[in-house]
Structure 1
Amino acid sequence: MLTIHHLGRSQSERILWLCEELGLPYTLVRHQRDAATMLSPPALKALHPLGAAPVIEDDGLALAESAAIVDYLIARHGQGRLRLAPEHPDFAHYLYWFHFANGNLQPVMGRLMMVSRAGLPADHPVQQAVQGRLERVLALVEKRLGEAEHLAGAEFTAADIMSVFSLSTMRLFQPVDLAPYPNIRAWLQRMGARPAYQRAMAKGDPDLVPMLG
């Protein structure tokens, strides 16, 4: 049986959502952040040296990194569903946006959080550089979602699953105003209306109201 180790309010919500979309059975182990530091508990460090979530256990294998887990589950248990095959006309779009989530979107959100906590003034070059990078990243996502219903194109795929966290739950840690981005907000509403997303969030973070606008 697949076991998902889920840290509350973290990227591991992606894995719960994926499994709900694919209809994969799993055992959920919920971990809570330290109330003072907001870091993961020692139990996660016992599973993986970085002590971060998500981590899955499957037939004796322990695997971390959300993108690697998504790829693994789709290939091993999902019969290739929710990814696009090389012959699909939107295959390159799928690859780009799948990797964009952890290659650009999540890192810039994390950098903004660190810089904001450092208390730099708004006109500091580092603060301006990070804010400018975020605005360019969001503008790119906004443009894409004005061209297509989903990030990869017409079809809902794992590329959407990978990106929602950074534009929703991550904003609990680093507020970002999405008012200038109507396409992103409409897409978040569509994602939040998916029954599998709702089931995943209810199981993983039942006390959380998703930030979908």
Structure 2
Amino acid sequence: MDKHQLPDLIINGVSGGAGGTYNNVNMDGVGKVVGPIVARMFKGNGHMNLNDDLTAEEAECNGVIKVMGNMRFGTLKVDGVLNVGKSFRGDSCTLNGMVSVKGDCELEDFVGEGSFNVGGLLSAGHVDFKLQSQGKADEIGVESLVIRQANNGFWSKMFSGIIPKLRPELCARTIEGDFIDVEYTTADIIRGNIVIIGPGCTLGRVEYREQITVHPEAKVGKVEKVGE
């Protein structure tokens, strides 16, 4: 069906709607949708609860959005808190706030500031993120990963007020990639071609193939060159 023939779903105030295939979905206020949503453009502002899957070519989530199923998208912008009950997959995600995913997360580009929590594998082409609270994933597999600490933002103040001991750091069991440049990271093992270990890191083992730099304040159990 041509996208211009698809209906729109508009929710304003305190209301609800049904899932379906739409051209534009605009939700403002407090809303709930029952059933999966497929849309060309999805915009959620306020406090939204979607009890199934969300699929959109373009998506914007502002406020507190909960997707109980899988989330699929082309491009996504988040300003606030997004909770996904299953898997999370898209081309590009720009985050200012927090994303929590219970399943696996697969992205081409992941950039922003704030916090993220991935229950399974975080697989991405390029990650460039400033942590204002904890970033967490069981496993991370990337082409390039750049992690920095940001201490002076709104989300940092909010998170520190809720959980004072939750410092901005990346926590993962394993991290693998072509280019890895991390600060304030705790991991059992890091594997990469070019690896840069910055301050605040606590690592059990680092394996590199081409080049490595380790900051004097980093704690690394073992460094090994592999692949020769």
TM-score under structure 2 length normalisation: 0.20
Higher relative contact order (CA 8 A, sep 6+): 1
More helix by share: 1
More strand by share: 2
Instruction: Pick the structure with greater CA Rg.
Output: 2
